Each structure stands twice: as structure tokens, then as C-alpha cells.
Amino acid sequence: MVFMGDRATLLETGRFVQRRVHRPDSKANAAFGGDAAVKSETTDTPETPETLETPEIIRTTETAETAGCAATAESTEFTENTGSARIGRSAEARGASGTTGTTGGVESPESAESEARYRRAADAGNTASMSVLGALLLRRGDLDGAEPYLRGATADGDRAAANNLGVLLHQRGYPDEAAGWWRVAAVAGSAAAAHALGRHYRERGDEPGAEYWLRQSAEQGHALGAYALADLLEHRSDVGAERWLRAAAEQGHREAAYRLARMLDRSAADDPHDAFGRPGSGPGGRGADRPDVLDRIMARRDDGPVAGPATGRVGEAEQWYRQAAARGHQRAALHLGAILEQRGEPKEAGRWYLISAKAGEARAACALGFLLRDAGDEESAAVWWLRAAQDGDGNAANALGALHAARGEQQTAERWYRAAMDAGDVNGAYNLGLLCAAQDRTAQAEQWYRRAAYAGHREAANALAVLLLQAGDATGAEPWFSKAAEAGSVDAAFNLGILYAGRDEDRAALVWYERAAAAGHTEAALQVGMALLHQGEEQEAERHLRCAAGGGSAEAAFRLAGVLDSRRPPPGPPALGEPMPEKTECEEWYERAAEQGHRRAQVRVGMLAAARGDVDSAARWYREAAEAGSRNGAFNLGLLLAREGSEREAALWWSRAANDGHGRAALRLALLAARRGELTEGRRWCARAVELGPAEVAERAARLSEALHQELTA
């Protein structure tokens, strides 16, 4: 971090210049509060530390906490000297201790009339007036005019003049002489000069000297001294940095407030008792999906925001973000917006994103685009994404690419994905791979996947492995699956389990299934549950099956229901006049699987309903299973219809089941044909039943066929 200036003039540092940010007309103003945008109109450079070119001169309308500027020694020094018999300052001189404007009814020293009075008093030898006039001319950039007055006041022992003389000499390119005058002022008790001297020493690599003088400044309550000391201590990983950041922040230093919030964020994330869920910020690709709040804002950045409940140090961090953001710190506004969005307050989050985005923060513009997209305003979202992408935000470029891809504008999508990649966002290459794969441009897809995978993109490595596996190159796919899985790709871990299972390496497969299941992969949890069932570990299997079923797996719901069903005694037929029994948990899981189209579950639900005497429900579920191709469903539906007297329709469903290989259905058709006197048809179905089995069905069908044969030959 640079602590000393480069001999630029005061005006070159931007100390007295306020940059104006264009206020674009946007629906975001109305959506998130137009008044918020006004706060971002005046910005400075809060992301850089204060430079030494401008320490301790008369303050401007900007507040002293602004990084890149310095506080005003005069507001401290003159107040201390007010009423001194040695100096004997006038009311006008005492008025210089305030900010621009009037202080306590005294005229501002910046007015022409006041300057003329100061000049007359200074020319008459008034020390305080010489100090004030010299500082005023120094602020104006009139170094030649300021120097004699500052030297004169310094010779009379005015420590504010000594400090400002150091500033002037530093501007002229004489840092060592400037440091000498700063030392004079600092020894005399000037906190501002001690701050400047400390930064002078730090630039020259003398950290002990820098710490001594910065500590002198900080302990006198000087906000910039406290901030600079905190920065030095944080650079050395000293735990005392937080104390001084807090001291500076409490005095209104906005950069200190921001950095204190960042420090609290990081410590909360490292504390398992105070942290909240922080999504992984690795290079996982999102394609066209909406990234997580944190991933999309600060992916691969070391200053990503942490969002969560306002408790403990995390809640304190939010307060400091809010303080810094309210003072115009654009990154703090970005972090605050992320916290609020994560907490489910999108309107308030959007207001802070808007402030930050208008101040030039590309990541805030990108985040604002996602908020607008989620609110249904895709057009405005695209405007902010475009703004962010043009400022070099790769995430916004990816979002634009996904937007155009969804509209079928493949060439435009590819252009934005390339822009994301050029901005250093590896997701751009991954998304290009997805785009090419969707167009069956397999060679190009492999090229982009490989590029992203070599850059460490775990999902690209998984996609590349899938592509290689589909091409029959299992040997080439395995290492990429392994790399992706080791990097945290849940899908890759599951795919690796499938790969090992295909080789009958069940133990290795189970290891990867378990890893994927632990990360919440539904199908992996199902596979683990089935493996444990096979091993007889029913209790542990139930836990995994519940996870998978809760994640939406119909097969898991069916198998979980089967586990529960096996534990309950078989229900007896309902007694006459008794109410219909309530559904058990196993039946509820069967129904959940059945509603997802699981045919075996539909048959089972039908059987349970029939056992309860609920014929209508049984028929409905049997029919759904039968129409979906379940031969058991068709057979059971036939039984139900035959019992209700609809033998003709029953025969149709039995025929469908028998043709699909259901031996009992073939036997039923044989019996039905025999009753009708259709002996030849009956023998045909008997032969089919013998062929299909099972053994008891085949035996009965053989006896029936013999009886029909005797009838035919009688």
C-alpha cells in the first residue's frame, strides 16, 4: 500500500475536485428509490489510502474521512491556540479553526473580505493570521505565495504552520525537509504532523519509526493517524489493527469503517459459532442459471461480501458497512446490498446496489441486473449488465451471454461469453463449451471445456469427462472426473461413482456416492441407501433414503416406503361398519412416488387402497400404472374390473399384461376363454402362461391345457 505521495500538486491529487457521476435514467431509480441515487453523485476515491500530498490543510466541503484526502490541522491546532497570550489571535483567526462556512458566527476565511483582513494582519506580523493565510494559499495551490507566510508563522512557533510548511515542501519535491518540519510540529504536539511523519517513514521502509509517530497521532485521537496505524498493523497481521480501525471509524473515517467491516466479516466466517453459511466461491460455473448472491458479485475476489443474519460480529459488520455506505463508499454499499439481498430484503438491497452502481462499481451494476431480472424486468437488467460488462465485469458478460442464448441469439451469446473470458472470468470458457455442446459442435465444446478445466473450473472438468466418456474414452474421462470431484464438484463425485460401479468396483463406487450424498446429491443418496439395504444396514439405509426422497427422488420414496412397509404387520380386512383406517407413513411415501409417475408405487398404492376397501382410488392408480406400461397395473386393474362385473374390459387389460409377459394374466385369459367355450383360444393362452410362469402358474396352466385338450378330442 502506497503511503507517500509522488510530488504531485494538490490539484493533481484531486483533493479539491469532486468528480460528478452521470445519473442515467433507469427504471431502477423508481424500483429501488430515486432518492438513493442522489447520494452517489459526489464521489472520490475511497478505495485508495490517503496520499501525503494533502495532509492537514484547511478542510474543504469534503469530510475528513475520505480516503485520498487528509484532515485539517488548522481545525485542531488553532482551537488549541485560541486565547493564547503569546499569539493573541483575532476573532477572524480563531474562525479559521472551523470548516468552510461559518463557525460560531465567525466569517469563513475563504471569503475575499476575510482573506484581505488576514493579509493585512499577516503583513502586520500577526502570527495566527500568517498561518491561516499561508494555509489558505496552500490550499489554492499558490505555493510561492504561501511559503513566506508559513515560514514566518513557523518562526514564531506556530505548529500548524510548521505542519503546513511540511506539506508545501513535500509538494515542491523536498520530502526530507518536509519531514523535518513535520517533526517540529509533531514534537510540539501536532497529531496531524505526527500522522504525516509516520507515513513519510513508512514509505521509506522504516516501519518502527512509522509506527512510533502514527501511534502518537492515533493516541491523540487523530482519525487519519488511527487509520494509517491500523493499516500498518494489519499489514503485519497484528491483532491491534482492529482497535485502531474502530477508533478511526468511530470518528467518521469511512474507509476505516469499510475495512473494519471486512475484518469483522472474515473473523465471523472463520468462527463456527458466529459464522453463517457462506457459499463456496470457487470457480464453479453457473451457465444460464442465476448465480448465488455472493458468487455472482465477488467470484474469485479477495474482498467478497459475506451476507447473513445480523448477529454477533456479523451484525456489527453490517452496521459499519452501512455507516461507510451512507458516507458514499461504493464498495461498502455493494457489500451492504449483498447482505440485505441474502436476508430477503431485495428492495433495500437494490437501493444500495443502485448507489454503488452509479458510483462506478461494476459488480453492483451486475448484482442490480440480477435483482431486476428476478423482479421480471429483463430489459432493465440487460441495461445494467451491459454497463457492468463494458466496465470489465466478466460475471455480467456471462449473464448477457446467457440472456441472448435463451433468446436463441447464439452469435451474440458467444460474443459475450468471449468477453467474459477476456475479462478473466473462466466461466466464459465453460459457457462457450455449453453453447457449443447444445449445438452439437462437440469438438469446439471439448476445446472450451478443456480450456476452462485447465484453468481450474471444476464443472468444466466434469463436463469434459462426460464428453470423453460419451465418446468411449473412459480412460481419459476418469482423471478429469477425479480432479473435478476432488475440487468439490458434487456431480463429478456422483459420476465417478457410476464409473466405478460400471467396473464392478462397488467399494470404490460407494466411497464417491457417499461423498456426493454428503453434499446433498439426491441420486447419490439413493445409491448409498440401496447399497446399505443390500448389506442389511436398514437403519442407516433409511436415513439416506429419506434424504433422497426429500430431495425429490421417486425411486427413493418408493424404496423408503418399502422399508417402512416391511416393518408393519399385514392389515386385516376392514370390519363391517368400521371407519376407513388412516393412511400410514409408508403409504404416504408410496403416494409421493406414485404422484411422480413411479409405476411400481402406483400399483402398490392401488393395492393398499383396495385393501382399505377404497375401490375407486385403487382403480385410478391401477389405471395410471397400466397406461404408463405397467403389466402388474394392467393385471390388477383387470382383476378389479372382473370383480365389478366388467369382464370384457378386464380381458382387454389382461391381454395387454399377457402380451407384456405377465403369466398370471395369460392364465386368467385362458380360464375366461374356457368358460366361454373358446377351447382353442384357451389352449393358446395356457401355452403362453406355461411359457411365462412362474412355476405354480405354469403348473396350473398345463393342467388346464390338458383338460381343454381332452374336451376338444372327446
Average pLDDT over residues 5-22: 29
Say what the pLDDT of residue 582 is.
67
d(CA 436, CA 287): 12
Q: Which residue has the cell 514566518?
A: 152
pLDDT at 106: 40
Q: What is the pLDDT of residues 101-137, one digit of tens each?
A: 333 334 455 578 888 999 999 999 999 999 999 999 9
Residue 146, pLDDT above cutoff 80: yes
Nearest C-alpha neighbor of 420 from the set 280, 281, 283: 283
- Please give the span between the terminal C-alpha atoms of the chain, in angstroms, as a whole number: 110
Q: What is the pLDDT of residue 161?
A: 94
| Predicted pLDDT of residue 630 | 93
Backbone angles phi, psi at 103, to 5 degrees: -130, 115
pTM above 0.75, yes or no: no
pLDDT at 261: 93
pLDDT at residue 677 in the model: 84
- Mean pLDDT, to the nearest integer, of 141-157? 93
710 vs 530: CA distance, rounded Å = 51
* Residues 217, 194 contacting (CB under 8 angstroms): yes
Residue 647 pLDDT: 86
Question: d(Cα 356, Cα 441) in Å, to the nearest integer?
Answer: 40
Omega before 574 within 30 of 0, i.e. cis: no
pLDDT of residue 314: 72
Give the per-residue pLDDT at 267: 78
Lowest mean pLDDT among 34-48, 285-299, 522-536, 681-695: 34-48
Q: Which of 19, 20, 36 is nearest to 28 (CA)?
A: 36
Worst-scoring range by mean pLDDT, 176-190, 298-312, 558-572?
298-312
429-468 pLDDT tens trace: 999 999 999 999 999 999 999 999 999 999 999 999 999 9
Per residue in 50-85, pLDDT tens?
323 333 443 322 223 333 333 333 333 332 332 222
pLDDT at residue 423, as a whole number: 92
579 alpha carbon, distance to own chain's centre: 53
Mean pLDDT of the chain: 79
Residue 43 has pLDDT above 60, yes or no: no
In this structure, what C-alpha cell is assigned to residue 259? 475495512
Tens-digit pLDDT profile for residues 643-682: 888 888 989 999 999 999 999 999 999 898 888 888 888 8
Within 82-190, residue ranges assigned H as helices are 91-95, 112-123, 127-140, 143-155, 159-172, 175-187
Q: Which residues contact 170 (CB under 8 A, 6 or more apart)?
A: 5, 7, 52, 53, 178
661-674 in b/e burial notation, b at 16+ Cβ within 10 A? ebbbbbbbbbbbbb
Cell numbers linked to 32? 429501488
Is 188 a residue whose pLDDT tops 60?
Answer: yes
pLDDT in tens, 350-360: 999 999 999 99
Residue 477 or residue 303, greater confidence: 477
Decide: residue 470, CB within 10 A, 0-12 exposed, 13-18 middle, 19+ buried. Answer: exposed
pLDDT given at position 108: 53
User: What is the distance of C-alpha 267 from the center of its chain?
Assistant: 18
How confident is the model over 286-331, as pLDDT tens digits? 344 445 544 544 443 445 444 444 456 678 899 999 999 999 999 9
Give residue 41's pLDDT band: very low, low, confident or very high (50, 70, 90). Answer: very low
Instruction: Say whether pLDDT at 365 is over 80.
Output: yes
Query: Contact 40/356 with Cβ under 8 angstroms?
Result: yes
- Total count of residues recorded for the chain: 714
pLDDT over 70 at 505, yes or no: yes
pLDDT tens sequence across 274-289: 333 333 333 333 344 4
**pLDDT band at residue 693 under the 50/70/90 scheme:** confident
Question: For residue 579, what pLDDT band results from cuts at 50, 70 and 90?
Answer: low
> Tell me, what's the pLDDT at 338?
93
42, containing H or E segment? strand 42-43
